[in-house]
Amino acid sequence: MYCWRALGRMLGRPQVVCVRTRNSMSLQEHNYWLTTTEFPAVDASQAIPEAVDVAVIGAGFTGLSAARTLAQRGAKVAVLESETIGWGASSRNGGMVLTGMKLGVNKLISMYGRERTQRMYAASLASLDCVEQIVREEKIDCDFARCGHLEVACKQKHFDDYARQAEVIAREFDHTLRVVQRHELSAEIGSTIYYGGMVDEVSAGCNPARYVAGLGRAAMKAGAQIYEHARAESIVRESRQGELGWKLETSRGPLWAHEVFVGTSGYTGRATPALKKKLIPIGSFIITTEVLPEALARELSPRNRMIYDSKNFLYYYRLTPDRRMLFGGRAAFFPETDQTVRQSAGILRRGMIDVYPQLSDAKIEYVWGGTLDFAFDIMPHAGQMNGMYYAVGYAGHGVAMATYQGQKIAELMAGDKPENPFVGIPFPGAPLGMYNGNPWFLPFAGAWYKLLDWVS
Ligand SMILES: Cc1cc2nc3c(=O)[nH]c(=O)nc-3n(C[C@H](O)[C@H](O)[C@H](O)COP(=O)(O)OP(=O)(O)OC[C@H]3O[C@@H](n4cnc5c(N)ncnc54)[C@H](O)[C@@H]3O)c2cc1C
């Protein structure tokens, strides 16, 4: 089933090594989703064109969704990807296609007022429809299913807040969440450590690597050209034949583009220094178990929900379609390296067994990491910066929102006036400007969030 190219991609990734951890479990330091996915073949011999209408930087959900929409509108589009299609967070995530945003609704209303927050919440619901529509239209085989999500409370006061949140969300956004009392929780989760939960039936799950591979295929089908191993190194204003645009130096040669769209998320680098200074790259890590017996899998997650807990330093988990427990969290705050991935395997395994003692004998077969992009206000941001279009800042909530922002910003570039309440909101930088893109404060931030979880 898997072509040599897919195998090459898997083996070519630096993280593929066998790890022996302290309890002697032997596991693949490698992304499980990739073992299930065949990526589209890109013609590596194809030269970078001299000029295009739009250069899209980054071939994840954001960039590929934008490229698909722009190419469908007739634009000549070149997608520049420094690695391979979906190499970034888009193939490494938990595959939770979630409603809402990272910040709570009361916080959002205090920041943006009721009217804009209502539009933001509506956009978060529309972002799921956007993913579902693309999956259906492009026939992407990625196990997309509206299985709902479950948030579980780690403290009584977190649970007490659920009823208040559900009431605000019903009143302000006309969206129903169901609060689950502690004594009813066994119908949702086979763990006894939580104080209750809250279910949103609208959220979905998918295999993210298959989804991003399918999005890549769809962008190519629409006419976009994708260039892998083509890193954008610098971008400067330059006119060509009397037309104002951008000159890009790439690792595969120069390119002139009328417009540039940046979708580099947690991997934003030196080519876009102004954007890099607005984003904090934060590591997130995942382990998966061996395939579990059917009865055990049903006991752990009877309704097959996408689950996450109420902490700042949270755990998120779900069953994979082939019945592995996939368990993730910010085990280390730093982005993925051999060392942080290796450390995370042990931390996450202990976390998983705290939640599910039933898994103490389950073999861990895969561990990997990826980088999230947090803005300083923990909000998604999109629009134009220094003349370039961009969409970033998903804060671990990007499967649906990145797809949606890619599409909406592409529509804006094509001359439409799409509804997008995230365009034009203030995009704060670091307090006192104490950040040049090198996140020196991550250890302090990690300690701060652990402290917050302890006291709040
Ligand atoms: C471990 C983990 C778990 C997560 N779980 C979830 C989840 O369950 N649900 C959810 O909603 N979200 C989740 N997220 C977040 C979600 O995956 C991201 O928000 C989303 O994938 C962002 O997509 P993107 O296309 O913007 O960025 P990415 O997929 O990161 O793509 C950016 C691409 O840009 C490329 N690039 C960078 N610089 C350049 C350059 N100069 N030139 C060319 N190319 C460049 C990179 O190589 C990369 O491929 C998770 C993230 C991680 C890391």
Distance 187 CA to ligand 1 centre (A): 33
- Residues of the chain above pLDDT 90, percent: 83
- pTM to 2 decimal places: 0.93
Tokens at residue 90, please? 């888009």
Residue 266 pLDDT > 80: yes
- Name all residues whose Cβ lies below 6 A of ligand 1: 57-63, 80-83, 87-90, 92-96, 98, 231-232, 263-267, 269, 271, 284, 286, 328, 370-372, 394, 396-399, 402
Which one is predicted more confidently, 338 or 162?
162
Instruction: Identify the residue with better confidence: 239 or 3.
Output: 239
Predicted local confidence at residue 10, as pLDDT:
35
Residues 178-187 have pLDDT tens digits of: 999 999 999 9
Q: For residue 184, how far is its CA from the centre of ligand 1 (angstroms)?
A: 36
Query: How remote is the CA of residue 396 from the centroid of ligand 1, in Å?
Result: 9
Strand partners, 382: 391, 423
Banded model confidence at residue 24, pLDDT cuts 50, 70, 90: very low
Measured from the Cα of 85, ligand 1's closest atom is 49
Confidence at residue 313, expressed as pLDDT on a 0 to 100 scale: 84
pLDDT > 80? residue 246: yes
Angstrom distance (rounded) from CA 101 to CA 119: 12
pLDDT value at residue 26: 54
- Averaged pLDDT, 452-456: 61
pLDDT at 224: 98
> Counting beta carbons within 10 angstroms of the beta carbon of residue 239, is it exposed (0 to 12), middle (13 to 18) or buried (19 or more)?
exposed
3-state secondary structure of 242: coil
Ligand 1 centroid to Cα of residue 394, in Å, is 9
Give 330-385 pLDDT, tens digit per residue.
766 677 788 888 889 999 999 999 999 999 999 999 999 999 999 999 999 999 99
**CA of 268 relative to ligand 1 center, distance in Å:** 10
Q: How far apart are the first and last CA of the chain?
A: 49
User: Ligand 1 pocket check: which of 82, 91, 101 to mutate, most ligand atoms within 8 Å of Cβ?
Assistant: 82
Q: In this predicted structure, what is the pLDDT of residue 14?
A: 34
Condensed to tens digits (0 to 9), the pLDDT of residues 109-143 reads 999 999 999 999 999 999 999 999 999 999 999 99
pLDDT tens across 283-326, in order?
999 999 999 999 999 999 999 999 999 998 899 999 999 999 99
Residue nearest to atom 48 of ligand 1 (CA): 88
Cα(390)–Cα(386) distance, rounded to whole angstroms?
A: 10
Q: How far apart are CA 278 and CA 379, in angstroms?
A: 11
Please say if the pLDDT value at position 46 is more than 70: yes
- Are 409 and 424 spatial neighbours (Cβ–Cβ below 8 Å)? no
Residue-averaged pLDDT of the chain: 91
Given phi > 0 = left and psi -120 to 50 = alpha, else beta, which region is 201? alpha
Q: Ligand 1 pocket: which of 248, 366, 372, 374 to mutate (most atoms <8 Å of CB)?
A: 372
